[in-house]
Chain A
Amino acid sequence: EDQVTQSPEALRLQEGESSSLNCSYTVSGLRGLFWYRQDPGKGPEFLFTLYSAGEEKEKERLKATLTKKESFLHITAPKPEDSATYLCAVQGGETSGSRLTFGEGTQLTVNP
């Protein structure tokens, strides 16, 4: 069974204070790791897909990296508008079909 654990559960930063969110996963044959952002009252919004260890992707102040056991979402010089819950999801081997397994999320608050 695919498993995803995100840490920390909550993170409070000052504007400009860089940090990282962690996503540890256990999956049989990773086919993709996905990062989403979710704002209150909204559905998850897609950010990145990573497929293989060593891969990195960037979008504005966000950079996602992937190893064989975990992924990090690095936030550089965050702004208050980066406050949201960040969700990590994995898609496992062939038996998973198109099923995604999500972590519980990290709730990020950036104070001005």
Chain B
Amino acid sequence: DAGVIQSPRHEVTEMGQEVTLRCKPISGHDYLFWYRQTMMRGLELLIYFNNNVPIDDSGMPEDRFSAKMPNASFSTLKIQPSEPRDSAVYFCASSFAPVYSNQPQHFGDGTRLSIL
């Protein structure tokens, strides 16, 4: 059974460029989460979706960040324009049901983003 698939695994780009990160959740999972991990702040939730609808985007740092989920098998996180402080590892996770119903979140292997 395939896990959460993220692409690209690594992205290096220059400041000001648009960056798009992609995620394919586990089939049948109806919750999708985007996280950012840095040494300074650890693992932070950016936004999560339920049945393709954004539920909580309070962790999105600013308007330069946007996320979409056009269908149950695909989501994107976009940064435009990118800045060096956006450099981090971005993780996507999915779960079968709300976390409090005993279903854990399953994580992809992340996208390591470097903004020069």
Contacts from A to B (Cβ < 8 Å)? 31-32, 34, 36, 41-46, 49, 51, 87, 89, 91, 97-105
Q: When A32-B99, A43-B93 are in contact, do A98 and B55 touch as well, CB less than 8 Å?
A: yes
> Are A98 and B109 in contact, with the CB atoms below 8 A?
no
Instruction: List 25 A-B residue pairs with CB atoms under 8 Å apart, sorted by A's residue number.
Output: A31-B100, A32-B99, A41-B109, A42-B109, A43-B91, A43-B93, A43-B109, A44-B91, A44-B107, A45-B107, A46-B104, A49-B104, A87-B43, A91-B100, A97-B98, A98-B48, A98-B50, A98-B99, A99-B48, A99-B56, A100-B99, A100-B105, A102-B44, A104-B42, A105-B42
Q: Does B34 contact A (CB under 8 A)?
A: no
> Are A44 and B45 in contact, with the CB atoms below 8 A?
no
Separation of A44 and B100 alpha carbons in the complex (Å): 18
Report the interface size for chain B: residues with CB under 8 A from the other chain. Answer: 25
Residues of the B chain whose Cβ atoms lie less than 8 Å from the Cβ of A45: 107
Residues of the A chain whose Cβ atoms lie less than 8 Å from the Cβ of B55: 97-98
Contacts from B to A (Cβ < 8 Å)? 4, 31, 33, 42-45, 48, 50, 55-56, 91, 93, 95, 98-100, 102, 104-110
Q: Which of B43, B93, B105, B108 has the most CB of A within 10 A?
A: B43
Interface class of chain A by DSSP: loop
Residues of the A chain whose Cβ atoms lie less than 8 Å from the Cβ of B104: 34, 46, 49
CB proximity of A21 to chain B, nearest CB, Å = 15
Separation of A49 and B95 alpha carbons in the complex (Å): 14
Beyond contacts A51-B102, A97-B56, A103-B42: 14 other A-B pairs, Cβ-Cβ < 8 A, are: A43-B93, A45-B107, A46-B104, A46-B106, A49-B104, A89-B43, A97-B98, A98-B31, A98-B55, A99-B45, A99-B48, A99-B56, A100-B45, A102-B42
Separation of A100 and B93 alpha carbons in the complex (Å): 12
> Are A43 and B48 in contact, with the CB atoms below 8 A?
no
Separation of A103 and B43 alpha carbons in the complex (Å): 8
Q: Which of B42, B100, B102, B108 has the most CB of A within 10 A?
A: B100
